[in-house]
Amino acid sequence: MTGAGGIIARDLKLALRQRSDAVMIVLFFVLTAALFPFGVGPEANQLAAIAPGVIWVTALLAVLLSLERLFLADYEDGSLELMALSPVPLELTVLAKVFAHWLTTGLPLIAAAPLIAILFNMPVSALPILALAMLLGTPTLSLIGAIGAALTLGARRGGVLVPLLVLPLYIPTLIFGVSAVDAALLGFPVRPHLLLLAGILLISLVVSPLAGAAALRQANE
């Protein structure tokens, strides 16, 4: 366990000293969302109607953009081999790295989401549900993304490959993430949507370390 803690601490320290990476991701998130009013027009009601979808889709793309730093640097400088050989099980290493990744991308995105909600004229009453849905959904994005990032290590054009692998798997999270916020806006019960998001998170928590570790072992061969 101390080993996994050490990996989390190291990845956080690396992210903190290369702050610009995390800042770029949040900037991308806000900037991309800010493009939509230019695309669909500034009409307030229309923007409010598409706000949950825009927030989720852009958050998803922002996570996608950040996936490269999850394993690539460690793969290229030989760190990944040493992690695979260490007494810490590789599955636990994957979980630790994903957790650090979520802390440095998922959390900042959740913090920035209310800003976009306000820009899109979304009622403030739905903000707590938006935050809660993102709290349950963004870890899934990091977990599934880790599989894609690990599978494409050493591939030609790895960067363009990741979206192709990962985006279809993101769709359930997107659907329930948006429907939770929509339900809150329309005054319907939000519980089932949040429970489904939590269920998908639990499944990803099992699948991602197994598949991720298998993929990393293949990359190290």
Partner 1 sequence: MAFDYFANPARFLRLANAVLPWCVGATVILLASGLYLGLFVAPADYQQGESVRIMYVHVPAAWMAMFVYTNIAIASVLSLIWRHPLADLAASASAPIGAAFTFLALVTGSLWGKPMWGTWWVWDARLTSVLILFFLYLGHMALTHAFDNPARGAKAAAVLALVGFVNVPIIKFSVDWWNTLHQPASVFRAGGPTIHPDMLWPLIAMALGYTLFYITLLLLRIKSDLIGARLRTLDSLRQDAA
Partner 2 sequence: MSAFEARNLACSRVGRRIFAALDFTLPAGGALILRGANGSGKSSLLRVLAGLLAPVGGELHWDGKPVNDDPEAFQDNICYVGHGNAIKPVLTVHENLAFWSKLYPPKSAEGYDDLLDQALETFSLTTLRDVPGRQLSSGQSRRLSLSRLITSPARIWLLDEPSVGLDDVSLKRLEAAIAEHRAGGGMVIAATHTPLDIADADLLLLQDFAPPAIDPELLENSW
Q: Which residues here bind partner 1, judged by CB under 8 A? A: 147, 151-152, 154-158, 161, 164-165, 167-169, 171-172, 175-176, 179, 196, 200, 203, 207, 211, 214-215, 218, 221
C-beta of 162: minimal distance to partner 1 in Å?
A: 10
Q: Which option in partner 2, partner 1, none does residue 3 bind, with CB closer than 5 to 8 A by kind?
A: partner 2
Distant-in-sequence, close-in-space partners of 176: CB < 8 Å, separation ≥ 6? 133, 137, 193, 196, 197, 200
Pairwise CA distance, residues 141 & 186, whole Å: 26
The reply to whether 2 sits near partner 2 by the rule CB under 8 A is yes
* 16 CB-side CA count, 13 A: 8
Tell the smallest beta-carbon distance from residue 205 to partner 1 (Å).
13
User: Of 92 and 174, which CB lies nearer to partner 2 in the complex structure?
Assistant: 92
CA distance 115 to 220: 42
- Both ends of the chain: CA-CA distance in Å? 26
Binding site for partner 2 (CB under 8 A): 2-3, 6-7, 10, 13-14, 17-18, 73-74, 76-79, 81-89, 220-221
